[in-house]
């Protein structure tokens, strides 16, 4: 699957989860009781950040387009992660990874507070900007320079709206990663969902990734679906 399909499927998964699941699940593991729904601001910010989180598993691939998201810094990080994960579509494409990023985000938000939250928001926005082609392509300074400017501006804006410790952020990061992995399971190669076990889970519906249908049909449908569900979620609130 292409980056933009991952990002848009993450946003759709977030909006569907926000409508279908109780707040106690959306705020796991912090578990915020006593509120019936997430507010409109949290719903919209959550969709943007889940879109970015849906690129995280491909950090195991130094040649992927997201490896160049922050220039040489992210390229080096991806090279190290690729080595540690044992190659592409292994450790970072598993349910264990989903659990690790969920609890990792919770721990960061809980113990480090706002600096961690804003750094993570910046990084997730950078991934979303790159995946949705809001910056020039390639791996040059023009590309990652644009990413840095857009993600920093987005973080600055979000800083006004976001709580210091957004209780739904761990769930959003985990859900984005899960959407990515399930998407990859629909391709020929599948994923080792239960890593470190060797079992490969695959349901090859998408014959060839990177095709015309993915760009002009699937991704736009995901975007329209996300907007429709968000609209429903926001307008149903009293």
The least distance separating Zn ion from the CB of residue 187, rounded to whole angstroms, comes to 9
In this structure, the number of other CB atoms found within 10 A of the CB of residue 87 comes to: 11
Q: Return the sign of the alpha-carbon dihedral for residues 125, 209, 10, 62.
A: negative
The least distance separating Zn ion from the CB of residue 180, rounded to whole angstroms, comes to 6
The least distance separating Zn ion from the CB of residue 202, rounded to whole angstroms, comes to 13
Residue 139 CA from chain centroid, whole number: 21
184 in contact with Zn ion (CB under 5 A): yes
Whichever of 70 and 191 has its CB closer to Zn ion, that residue is 191
Whichever of 57 and 108 has its CB closer to Zn ion, that residue is 57
SS3 of 191, please?
Answer: strand
Whichever of 65 and 117 has its CB closer to Zn ion, that residue is 65
Alpha helices in the chain (DSSP H): 3-20, 23-26, 40-53, 72-85, 95-112, 114-131, 141-161, 169-185, 212-213, 219-235
**DSSP state, 200?**
P
For the segment 50-69, give every residue that binds Zn ion (CB under 5 A): 57-58
Q: Show the site string, 130-169: x = touches Zn ion by CB under 5 A, - = not.
A: ----------------------------------------
Would you tell me which residues interact with Zn ion (CB under 5 A)? 57-58, 184
């Amino acid at each position: 699957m292409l980056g933009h399909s991952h990002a848009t499927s993450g946003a759709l998964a977030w909006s569907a989860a926000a409508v279908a699941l109780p707040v106690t699940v959306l705020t796991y593991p912090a578990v915020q009781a006593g509120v019936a729904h997430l507010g409109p601001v949290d719903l919209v910010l959550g969709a943007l950040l889940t879109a970015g989180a849906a690129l995280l598993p491909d950090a195991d691939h130094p040649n992927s387009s997201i490896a160049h998201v922050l220039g040489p810094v992210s390229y080096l990080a991806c090279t190290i992660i690729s080595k540690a994960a044992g190659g592409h579509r292994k450790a970072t494409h598993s349910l264990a990874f989903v659990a690790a990023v969920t609890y990792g985000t919770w721990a960061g938000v809980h113990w480090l507070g706002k600096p961690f939250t804003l750094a993570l928001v910046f990084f997730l926005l950078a991934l979303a900007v790159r995946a949705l082609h809001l910056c020039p392509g390639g791996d040059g300074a023009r590309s990652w320079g644009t990413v840095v400017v857009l993600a920093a501006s987005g973080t600055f804006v979000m800083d006004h709206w976001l709580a210091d410790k957004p209780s739904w952020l761990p769930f959003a990061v985990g859900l984005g990663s899960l959407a990515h992995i399930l998407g990859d399971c629909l391709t020929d190669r599948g994923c080792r969902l239960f890593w470190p076990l060797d079992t490969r889970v695959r349901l090859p519906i998408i014959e060839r990734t990177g095709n015309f249908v993915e760009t002009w049909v699937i991704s736009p449908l995901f975007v329209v679906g996300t907007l429709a569900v968000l609209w429903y979620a926001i307008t149903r609130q009293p």
